[in-house]
């Protein structure tokens, strides 16, 4: 009996793997693209926060040290 269970289980795995490609046709690509945009926005927001952390300039040119 265990041999029969193993044989049936192997067939079920094979069938599931075979239909995974067909399932990707209905994939939610908008969600995948949205996540990439969200990651970009997070990085961009961090850059702005880092620049703001420097504070305002005193509106003077940098010192010329030679």
Domain boundaries, the chain: 2-53
Regions in the chain scoring below 70 on pLDDT? 1-39, 51-58, 60, 62, 65-66
Cα–Cα distances in angstroms (integers) from residue 35 to residues 22, 24, 26, 42, 44, in the given order? 23, 18, 18, 11, 14
Q: What is the pLDDT of residue 38?
A: 66
Please tell me the pTM assigned to this model. Answer: 0.26
Closest CA relative to residue 9, chosen from 21, 1, 23: 1
Phi, psi (rounded to 5 degrees) for 10: -60, -40
């Amino acid at each position: 009996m265990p041999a029969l269970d193993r044989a049936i289980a192997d067939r079920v795995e094979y069938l599931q793997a075979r239909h995974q490609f067909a399932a990707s046709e209905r994939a939610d690509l908008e969600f995948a693209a949205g996540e990439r945009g969200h990651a970009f926005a997070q990085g961009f927001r961090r850059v702005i926060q880092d620049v703001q952390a420097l504070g305002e300039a005193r509106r003077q040119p940098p010192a010329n040290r030679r």
